[in-house]
């Protein structure tokens, strides 16, 4: 039987309204939600009696750790580091095996072209451009993704990723964004284009736009290869064995954390200027922890992502490899078209700690981030063909021969992290926003930040005389 008196409830409501007048809009929302949950909990205790199972107790104990203010974020960083370490350490052997396999096939293809007396230009376009460029992308990108995505899927299957969203909701709310942006950001680690589409889960148009404009600051699968290779070659060059993988992992995690911090800063700046507003409430129901279906999850995730990488390599990397070879081998005034472009961009590249070849690679690599590093290596070769090296040491020597230092490697990693979205992502941004203006700004904002950050670091390092 209901024993509550209407007059008492009315007095309580009036008191709550008086208190609300003294609070900000954000505080009002929080107080209302808090009171609703408090009242619901009181009614639940009065009318429902149940006993907790060991399963429920286990979930509560784990949540007290994974979602706590003290342990929640350190555990998140530890999980991220473990995933990256497994990805980096585990991908070395299969990447080398795939590279040797494609090199072996290339040898037989070259013999076939020779036997058929095919012209050199045809061999250059099809083998040195198309086949070698595609083989590089598959060798470098496929093994890390075959480890990264199943591991990430296992965490999702277990029920941990919703706890990550719960923890990140506090930070996104602080910068004026929506808690669901944490979910779109997590998806961006796989593919920024897919993450832009996933922003539909955010009901508020303002907060959806925040998620779209800032998703590019987390590295997608196309940028992992560049980050891992450069961190391994330059940042962890003085270490061997397990320490080499550990240092490489630490550098990559540091770059990722810088991107996440940039996401918060840009979200805050936009929420105070062009996208002003109060963040809407985010109610997240945490699912129970489940025993992961290891075999099904790993196989499904591996096959799906692996086929996606292979398809992307053929559709994007192959034409870009051909274009690079053509630009490097067609002469205009005794100088290749590629060198004309490089010479034009070199002053800007030098100012931000890079060079003209690197900026050219990013421009040609606009369709997909996977092909930036292969295009750069092709550009560094006088024939415009992707370098055929015997080991990682030869690859580093190629960079050193073109004036690279640790500053070049660091700024290329940062530029790769922060620069404009790939072509596919830009197309999806236009489809989601139906706005040329916001698509333009989604290109300009990260590009401007990328130039500003790399320029500032380059000038500071040179001023201090560290290179």
- Model confidence over 146-187: pLDDT tens digits? 787 788 778 878 888 778 878 888 788 888 888 788 888 888
Task: Tell whether the model's pLDDT for residue 385 goes beyond 70.
Answer: no
- In 273-336, which residue ranges form alpha helices assigned H by DSSP? 294-312, 318-329
Residue scoring higher pLDDT (139 or 385): 139
Q: Considering only CA atoms, give the Rg of the chain.
A: 26
pLDDT band at 240 (very low <50, low <70, confident <90, very high): confident
Buried b (16+ CB within 10 A) or exposed e, 30-63: eeeeeeeeeeeeeeeeeeeeeeeeeeeeebeeeb
Provide the whole-model pTM. 0.80
The pLDDT > 90 percentage for the chain reads 27
Task: Tell whether the model's pLDDT for residue 262 goes beyond 70.
Answer: yes
pLDDT band at 50 (very low <50, low <70, confident <90, very high): low
Question: Given this model, what pLDDT does residue 1 score?
Answer: 46
pLDDT band at 439 (very low <50, low <70, confident <90, very high): very high
Lowest mean pLDDT among 38-47, 210-219, 335-344: 38-47
Task: Tell whether the model's pLDDT for residue 441 goes beyond 90.
Answer: yes
Spell out the SS3 assignment of 355-421.
Answer: CHHHHHHHHHCCCCHHHHHHHHHHHHCCCCCCCCCCCHHHHHHHHHHCCCCHHHHHHHHHHHHHCCC
Question: Given this model, what pLDDT does residue 457 score?
Answer: 97
Q: Are 256 and 148 in contact (CB under 8 A)?
A: no
Distance CA(255)–CA(176), nearest Å, equals 24
Task: Tell whether the model's pLDDT for residue 28 goes beyond 80.
Answer: no
Q: Can you tell me which residue has the tokens 């909701």?
A: 169
Distance CA(150)–CA(165), nearest Å, equals 19
pLDDT band at 449 (very low <50, low <70, confident <90, very high): very high
466: its two tokens: 């560290």
Question: Given this model, what pLDDT does residue 323 score?
Answer: 84
Average pLDDT of the segment spanning 7-31: 58
Distance CA(152)–CA(144), nearest Å, equals 12
Transcribe 434-449 into DSSP letters. --HHHHHHHHHHHHHH
Question: Given this model, what pLDDT does residue 29 score?
Answer: 67
Distance CA(181)–CA(185), nearest Å, equals 6
Q: Are 378 and 127 in contact (CB under 8 A)?
A: no
HSE of 99, CA atoms in CB hemisphere, 13 A: 18
- Degrees to nearest 5, angle at CA 404 with 399 and 408: 120
Task: Tell whether the model's pLDDT for residue 244 goes beyond 80.
Answer: yes
pLDDT band at 347 (very low <50, low <70, confident <90, very high): very high
pLDDT band at 331 (very low <50, low <70, confident <90, very high): confident
Average pLDDT of the segment spanning 113-137: 84
Distance CA(168)–CA(163), nearest Å, equals 9
The pLDDT > 70 percentage for the chain reads 85
Report the SS3 class of residue 117.
coil
247: its two tokens: 């240092």
Task: Tell whether the model's pLDDT for residue 34 goes beyond 80.
Answer: no
What is the overall mean pLDDT for the chain? 82
346: its two tokens: 């070199």
């Amino acid at each position: 039987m209901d024993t509550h008196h209407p007059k008492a409830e009315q007095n309580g409501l009036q008191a709550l309204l008086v208190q609300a007048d003294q609070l900000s809009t954000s505080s009002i929302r929080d107080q209302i939600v808090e009171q609703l949950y408090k009242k619901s909990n009181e009614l639940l205790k009065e009318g429902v009696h149940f006993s907790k199972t060991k399963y429920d107790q286990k979930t509560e104990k784990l949540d007290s750790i994974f979602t706590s203010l003290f342990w929640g974020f350190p555990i998140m960083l530890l999980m991220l580091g473990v995933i990256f370490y497994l990805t980096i350490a585990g991908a070395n052997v299969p990447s080398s095996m795939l590279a040797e396999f494609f090199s072996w096939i290339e040898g037989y293809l070259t013999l076939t072209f020779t036997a058929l007396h095919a012209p050199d230009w045809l061999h250059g376009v099809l083998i040195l451009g198309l086949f070698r460029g595609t083989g590089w992308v598959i060798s470098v990108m496929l093994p890390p993704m075959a480890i990264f995505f199943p591991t990430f899927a296992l965490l999702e299957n277990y029920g941990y990723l919703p706890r990550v969203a719960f923890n990140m909701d506090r930070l996104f709310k602080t910068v004026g964004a929506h808690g669901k942006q944490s979910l779109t950001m997590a998806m961006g680690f796989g593919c920024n284009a897919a993450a832009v589409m996933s922003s539909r889960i955010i009901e508020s148009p303002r907060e959806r736009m925040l998620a779209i404009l800032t998703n590019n600051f987390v590295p997608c699968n196309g940028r992992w290869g560049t980050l891992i290779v450069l961190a391994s070659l330059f940042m962890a060059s003085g270490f061997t064995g397990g320490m080499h993988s550990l240092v490489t992992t630490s550098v990559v995690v540091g770059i990722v954390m810088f991107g996440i911090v940039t996401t918060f800063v840009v979200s805050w700046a936009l929420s105070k200027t062009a996208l002003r507003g109060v963040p809407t409430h985010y109610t997240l129901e945490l699912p129970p922890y489940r025993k992961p279906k290891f075999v099904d999850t790993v196989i499904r995730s591996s096959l799906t992502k692996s086929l996606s990488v292979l398809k992307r390599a053929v559709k994007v990397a192959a034409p870009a490899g051909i274009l690079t070879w053509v630009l490097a081998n067609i002469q205009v005034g005794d100088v290749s078209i590629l060198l004309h472009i490089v010479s034009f961009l070199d002053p800007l590249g030098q100012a931000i700690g890079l060079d003209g070849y690197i900026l050219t690679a990013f421009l040609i690599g606009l369709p997909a981030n996977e092909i930036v590093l292969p295009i750069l290596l092709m550009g560094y070769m006088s024939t415009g063909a992707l370098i055929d090296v015997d080991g990682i040491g030869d690859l580093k020597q190629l960079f050193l021969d073109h004036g690279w230092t640790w500053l070049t490697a660091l700024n290329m990693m940062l530029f790769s992290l922060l620069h404009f979205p790939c072509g596919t992502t830009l197309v999806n941004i236009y489809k989601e926003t139906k706005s040329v203006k916001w698509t333009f700004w989604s290109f300009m904002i990260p590009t401007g930040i990328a130039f500003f950050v790399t320029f500032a670091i380059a000038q500071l390092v040179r001023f201090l005389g560290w290179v």
